[in-house]
Chains A and B, each alone.
Chain A
């Protein structure tokens, strides 16, 4: 960031704030951690690849074809990444709408996670756009393609990022010690939450609706007119599994940030979340079975794609669902973590099966992502984690808010 020149022009009052921010930009903590050693080279390679991509065209680093125009960057970064970011709307729904106070300690970190996910994964969309300089066309100007599902999704991404920023902004205000701003911004939370949940319902399902017109291109086991509903329902447990997964890592890595009572409460939270996951997965699985039976798809099962479908549905939906139910009964935290990992794998499978693997599954030339596409994807994820860590170490996200905060 180049706050350098800007600082000099600030009045003396705000000068100290900028000094503070500048000082905060410096890294905290050890530099030679395993994560840094792995992530830095990948991020640097990613940057080089991105330069090549804008210089020589998308085809220079991707394996995309005329028949499979969307690959890993859309199928994984955007479609899957956004499903995982669904935790934010589910948790804010429980805390602010259902007033379930016990989840309060994980609201901020979940919203931060969601916001960064949208920023980076939806941001990765820009890399995939052939003519990114026209990206503002559907936002301003007279080029509104209102009959396009993508138009809806694009707008919702933008608006939802703003809503999440508002939801998170009190933490920024507390970090900067801006009490007045903190009060005002906190007052906007409920509005932002309601708006955010509405937007999420629509764009989570909208991501599925994107594929409705590709009726003849997606393998019939994955295509149905219910894709939007499936995407929405699965985003609930995709998001919550991510919350469980991220929580168990954060609690190890950032244990110094978390108060003792929150440490203890966390098991309890994970435990209750596992039940919600199980119920949502049950609904999802039933829905899939209904569609399957109703459309009489038995004959499709006895083929490689059929086995692949069964693997996804039985191994990565039904099985983790049972594990979630069992672990809830037995209060087994390890089992919950295993189940959440499997659920996440299942979501990745499902989203890729619709957008990449089952898309033009019968084409002569199959699409496989190039190592460069994978590297860029990893670079995006690692950069996001860097920013996440930077924020956690500085702002009151996991740790308690400062004493002057009257909300508490």
Chain B
């Protein structure tokens, strides 16, 4: 049963990507295809904690290979940083030790992208949120805004980069799967369109209600993310922030940004009117307010 699904996703990974990456490069976004971009489904019940994805990721992006001694141990939190875009952590839970992978969530409506004033942080049509060095000015506003603390900055370089998972955007363009998904020996990481992944995740929960906690992390968090998680235990136990708002973060600044044009029209007119009205008040001794 599960073999079928796995081979289905394998096929999808190869043919699906090639087809879609080619044809969707020029597609325009619309509300209707909100789930028709790529994401990944990570199933922590399958993850063996082998760190294969960490090695594959480092290799694919020219980052230093992980230290062999630095293995996930419950109780110590390993964090992504400017030298590693993804990490595996171990958590002691009510159902024993469980591994969790961390990386950029590739939000549907990313805070980092809305924050970026140069469009260096960019949500691509195909789903990945990637960073473009030729545009970035290094203001780190993306880091301030990302609710998952994902973008990392090279503080010790005169030509610093922002490091974060980009869902292997360059590989996708060549029709390949992200390096971690390709590497994972237990198929804990599955690559596909968000719609397919959601269907698959729900199916797994329905088929094995005892095995899974009935929740897909990322379905609604921060307005929905491209990276989805399944877990056997409630997500708090795995160090996830479960109090994040369910609507998108950029929506928080919309009210302010929408007010800007009206102020730009109203204010000058108002000020000019005031100026005309008080023009002949040479004897304006009493202060206002």
Contacts and interface: CB of A to CB of B under 8 A. Distances in A.
A210 B157 CA distance: 26
Interface string B10-25: 0000000000000000
Interface residues of B, number: 64
Contacts of B133: 131
B116 A215 contact: no
Contact of A96 (B117, B255, B275, B281): B275
A215 B137 contact: no
B287 A275 contact: yes
B263 A202 contact: yes
A221 B85 CA distance: 33
A150 B141 contact: yes
A149 B256 contact: yes
A391 B18 CA distance: 65
A119 to B, nearest CB: 19
Interface stretch (A30-38, A52-60, A340-348): A52-60
Contacts of A70: 140, 144
A293 interface: no
B274 A98 contact: yes
A94 B285 CA distance: 12
B112 to A, nearest CB: 9
Given A134-B135, A143-B135, A195-B268, A67 B252 contact: no
B119 A145 contact: yes
B124 interface: no
A148 B115 contact: yes
Interface size range of chain A in the complex = 35 or more
Contacts of B235: none
A275 B289 contact: yes
A97 B275 CA distance: 4
Contact of A130 (B79, B118, B137, B288): B137
Nearest to A64: B155
Nearest to A209: B256
Contacts of B279: 99
Interface string B143-186: 11101010011111111100000000000000000000000000
A198 B268 contact: yes
Candidate in B113, B117, B136, B138 with the most chain A CB atoms within 10 angstroms: B117
A215 B252 contact: yes
B278 interface: yes
A213 B116 CA distance: 12
Contact of B249 (A60, A143, A198, A215): A215
A201 B267 contact: yes
Contacts of A134: 118, 120, 134-138
Contact of A69 (B144, B249, B264, B268): B144
B2 to A, nearest CB: 36
A57 B119 contact: no
B278 A97 contact: yes
Interface in A189-246: 190, 193-195, 197-198, 201-202, 205-206, 209-217, 225, 228
Contacts of B274: 97-98
Given A143-B118, A201-B263, A58 B155 contact: yes
B279 to A, nearest CB: 6
16 contacts: A55-B158, A57-B156, A99-B279, A99-B282, A130-B140, A137-B118, A148-B117, A150-B141, A209-B257, A210-B141, A212-B253, A213-B147, A216-B147, A225-B255, A275-B289, A279-B289
Interface of A: 54-60, 62, 64, 66-67, 69-70, 93-94, 96-102, 125, 128-132, 134-135, 137-138, 143-145, 147-152, 154, 190, 193-195, 197-198, 201-202, 205-206, 209-217, 225, 228, 272, 275-276, 279-280
Interface of B: 79, 81-82, 111, 113-120, 133-141, 143-145, 147, 149, 152-160, 241, 243-245, 249-250, 252-253, 255-257, 260, 263-264, 267-268, 271-272, 274-275, 278-279, 281-282, 284-285, 287-289
